């Protein structure tokens, strides 16, 4: 596998199930009228790719695609944006969206080793315990996909983002096969993103692919994404309730330090969303009333992150850019 065109300083991840399935399902809906999703009702191959709950993870997977420079996916039979334009010699690299799908070249020796790895995994008691309630005819496909994702994570020095049983499978297979386990994403990173989407009410759906292109290639938004990503990667709490509390306190501290009272409504659309979590913060009142209570996050370098591109305003910036895209589209339609 070789994607020499990926910049060395890129923030990159390998996306695994169920997040990869959600992103693939989004592409199938946008580019193929959901025909492969429909096939997943009867064909185990597509059912294994998309999973049973892909709708749950579409917004999170799109957020990951937005905030990371490069998202690496395992090769599967699916529709991909502008495939003819961005596919060369069996590799797909869409530099505008930051999606990479490497070409997998197996020598006879590589193929033999891959088959041996799959057989070792399928004979392991812990692996079988994780697979026991999944269709037996899907076991080989699942294990081969996990092994491929681990290989890509190792080869590209990128963390593998996966959840649930797939994450447990990846950890166990990595223990069996590798002396140095490839980095697996900490679940709390994904929980932080989910909490941020929940708090701000940010939803990408419905959003067509062209609008997402507009978001990903907007230069100023890349800076907001970088700042937001730094906060996500430095986040310590793991309990979902603690994550939500700490994230709210961190947002509040950032707003207070920057004294951006006039911009608060742009982030939360008034007080309605944040007040749903008033039980998490020992202060009542409007959002403006929450400003001014400090945490120890300033000592962790948060002020520096807010000097230019304020990470907590990522959601409002996305909404502004989406609105501008709609305005531009409307202007084009005026005769």
Average pLDDT over residues 149-167: 89
Output 46 or 249, whichever has higher pLDDT: 46
CA angle, 294 then 297 then 301, to 5°: 130
Neighbouring C-beta atoms of residue 62, cutoff 10 Å? 22
Output 111 or 168, whichever has higher pLDDT: 168
Phi-psi region of 292 (alpha: psi -120 to 50; beta: other; left: phi over 0): left
> What span, in angstroms and rounded, lies between the C-alpha atoms of 227 and 233?
10
pLDDT of 298: 40
Residue 99: phi, psi to the nearest 5? -115, 130
- Going by DSSP bridges, is the β-strand pair 91-94/87-88 parallel, antiparallel, or unpaired? antiparallel
Output 29 or 254, whichever has higher pLDDT: 29
pLDDT of 281: 34
Average pLDDT over residues 192-215: 79
Banded model confidence at residue 61, pLDDT cuts 50, 70, 90 = very high
Banded model confidence at residue 258, pLDDT cuts 50, 70, 90 = low
> What span, in angstroms and rounded, lies between the C-alpha atoms of 276 and 176?
45
Residues with Cβ within 8 Å of residue 137, at least 6 apart in sequence? 44
* 271, burial (CB in 10 Å: exposed 0-12, middle 13-18, buried 19+): middle
pLDDT surpasses 50 at 289:
no
pLDDT of 15: 94
Does pTM surpass 0.85?
A: no
pLDDT of 94: 93
> Which of 3-42 are b and which e, b meaning 16 or more Cβ less than 10 Å from the residue's Cβ?
beebeeeebbbbbbbbbbbbbbbbbbbbbeeeebbeebee
Q: What is the DSSP string of 66-77?
A: HHSSEEE----S
> Which of 131-169 are b and which e, b meaning 16 or more Cβ less than 10 Å from the residue's Cβ?
beeeeeeebebbbbbbbbbbbbbbebebbbbbbeebbbb
Q: What is the DSSP string of 246-283?
A: HHHHHHHHHHHHHT-GGGHHHHHTTTHHHHTTGGGSS-
**Are the C-beta atoms of residues 78 and 27 closer than 8 Å to each other?**
yes
- What would the pLDDT profile of 72-92 be if each residue is shown by its tens digit? 999 999 999 998 899 888 889
CA angle, 235 then 241 then 243, to 5°: 10
Average pLDDT over residues 163-186: 81
Closest by Cα among 80, 17, 13 to 48: 17
Average pLDDT over residues 202-229: 80
Mean pLDDT of the chain: 76
**Are the C-beta atoms of residues 127 and 169 closer than 8 Å to each other?**
yes
Q: Give the residues across from 93 on adjacent strands.
A: 100
Both tokens of 220, joined, read 């100023």
């Amino acid at each position: 596998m070789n994607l020499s065109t990926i910049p060395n300083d890129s923030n990159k991840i390998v996306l695994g199930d169920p997040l990869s399935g959600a992103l693939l399902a989004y592409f199938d809906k946008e580019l193929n009228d959901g025909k492969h999703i429909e096939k997943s009702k009867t064909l185990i191959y597509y059912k294994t790719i998309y999973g049973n709950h892909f709708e749950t993870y579409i917004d999170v997977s799109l957020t990951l695609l937005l905030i990371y420079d490069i998202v690496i996916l395992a090769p599967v039979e699916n529709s991909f944006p502008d495939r003819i334009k961005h596919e060369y010699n069996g590799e797909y690299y869409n530099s505008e969206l930051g999606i990479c799908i490497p070409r997998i070249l197996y020598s006879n020796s590589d193929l033999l080793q891959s088959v041996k790895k799959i057989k070792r995994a399928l004979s392991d008691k812990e692996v079988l315990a994780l697979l026991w309630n999944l269709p037996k005819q899907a076991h080989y496909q699942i294990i081969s996909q996990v092994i491929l994702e681990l290989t890509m994570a190792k080869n590209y020095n990128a963390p593998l983002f996966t959840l649930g049983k797939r994450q447990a499978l990846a950890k166990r297979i990595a223990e069996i096969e590798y002396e140095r386990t490839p980095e697996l994403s900490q679940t709390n990173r994904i929980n932080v993103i989910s909490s941020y989407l929940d708090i701000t009410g940010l939803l990408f759906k419905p959003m067509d692919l062209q609008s997402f292109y507009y978001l990903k290639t907007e230069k100023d938004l890349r800076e907001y994404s970088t700042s937001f990503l730094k906060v996500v990667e430095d986040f310590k709490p793991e309990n979902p309730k603690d994550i939500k509390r700490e994230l709210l306190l961190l947002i509040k501290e950032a707003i207070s330090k920057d004294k951006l009272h006039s911009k608060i409504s742009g982030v939360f659309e008034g007080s309605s969303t944040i007040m749903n979590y008033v039980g998490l913060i020992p202060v009542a009142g409007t959002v403006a009333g929450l400003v001014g209570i400090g945490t120890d996050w300033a000592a962790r370098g948060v002020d520096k992150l807010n000097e230019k591109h304020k990470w907590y305003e990522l959601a409002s910036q996305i909404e502004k850019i989406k609105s501008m895209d709609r305005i531009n589209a409307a202007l084009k339609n005026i005769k």
